[in-house]
Copies of this chain bind each other. A is one copy, B any other.
Amino acid sequence: MTNKFIEISEVGPRDGLQNIKQIMPLEVKKAWVSAEASAGVPEIEVGSFVPPNILPQLADTAELVAHARNIPGLCVAALVPNLIGAENAIRSGVHKITIPLSASETHSLKNVNRTHAQMIDEIKNIVALIKTIPEVDRPKFEGGISTAFGCTLEGKIKTTKILELAIALMDAGCDEVGLSDTTGYATPSHVVKLVKAVKAEVGDNNLTSLHIHNTRGLGLANVVAALDHGITTFDASLGGIGGCPFAPGASGNIVTEDLAFMLDSMGYDTGIDLKTLMKVRKIISNALPDEPLYGFTPDAGLPKGYPNAYRD
């Protein structure tokens, strides 16, 4: 019997580093990505294609993609805010592009200076661009609904608004939608409610991923709730660094090590070797000695007898 595969998508090089003032040298980023891929992490979001004056920390994303593409079996993902970003992402050769669409229009205007309608237009232009690529080479294109569980500026977002945006993203030609708890507002019951509602609108296979923050400590609890409702990909950040600099009060992705430990212990197949993964922290702490790294499992260590005498 094989265990169910749950994909962990590492977003530290993007969501983590964009929240840190210090710029990690490209060579360290390369070592990080290579080491995490070696530990078995199947997908890594290596950066964002945004103007370097906005996020100088991610200015070398194209070079990092070029490096990561050479790692066999790794899905190399990147975030783009607009058509220009998508052009650059495609040129770099990424396997997956995600564009965030903030459910909070206030946040969207602050973050990318665009209304919902303007964002959907931009997304249609990106889809048209992708369609000019031979089908075999096309990157996967995801519309990620950010602030889906609430916004620090607007508060709670109505479910009908999320459904409307999810449908608009699929109609615009996205391959799938994702839900992002940019602000750490999600609760297990809200996750279940929203995942069920969105899946009912866009189809079970068109919402399979969640991007959850651990702002109020509910990150793994939200994962557990989502696992029972057909979510199979979870974003996480090594050492829990990261957040959204444009959403005040938002902080902290789920810690990759804790998520991998939980899933593995629950009998899911993540493809990740935990002991190898733990060692990757050293690459980050050596390069960014002033940045705190989080993680309960790295602090406490693996349980006695792990994994064979421990797993359920």
A residues within 8 Å of B by Cβ?
Answer: 150-156, 183-185, 187-190, 193, 214-218, 220-221, 223-225, 249, 251, 255, 258, 261-262, 265-267, 295-297, 300-301, 303-305, 309-310, 312
Contacts and interface: CB of A to CB of B under 8 A. Distances in A.
A296 B223 CA distance: 17
B216 A296 contact: yes
B221 A223 contact: yes
A309 B225 contact: no
Nearest to A149: B303
Per DSSP, chain A at the interface is: loop
A142 B229 CA distance: 36
**For the complex formed by this chain, how many copies does it contain in all?**
2
A261 B185 CA distance: 11
A214 B296 contact: yes
A189 B150 contact: no
Contacts of A300: 184, 215-216, 249, 251
Contacts of A224: 188, 221, 224-225
A87 to B, nearest CB: 36
A191 to B, nearest CB: 10
A81 to B, nearest CB: 24
Contact of A303 (B155, B189, B303, B305): B155
B220 A217 contact: yes
A305 B156 contact: yes
Contacts of A215: 296, 300
Given A184-B300, A216-B262, A218-B258, 12 more contacts: A150-B303, A151-B304, A152-B304, A156-B310, A187-B265, A190-B312, A214-B296, A217-B255, A217-B295, A218-B296, A221-B224, A221-B262
A185 B266 CA distance: 12
A255 B218 CA distance: 11
A261 B216 contact: yes
Contact of A267 (B189, B220, B265): B189
Nearest to A151: B304
Nearest to A301: B249
A184 B224 CA distance: 17
7 contacts: A153-B304, A156-B305, A187-B262, A189-B265, A216-B258, A217-B295, A220-B221
A69 to B, nearest CB: 33
Contacts of A150: 303-305, 310
Nearest to A310: B156
Contacts of A223: 221
- Closest 10 CB pairs between A and B? A217-B296, A155-B305, A220-B221, A189-B266, A155-B304, A187-B265, A217-B258, A221-B221, A221-B224, A216-B297
Nearest to A153: B304
Given A193-B312, A223-B221, A297-B217, A266 B188 contact: yes
Contacts of A221: 220-221, 223-224, 262
Contacts of A220: 217-218, 220-221
A64 B295 CA distance: 36
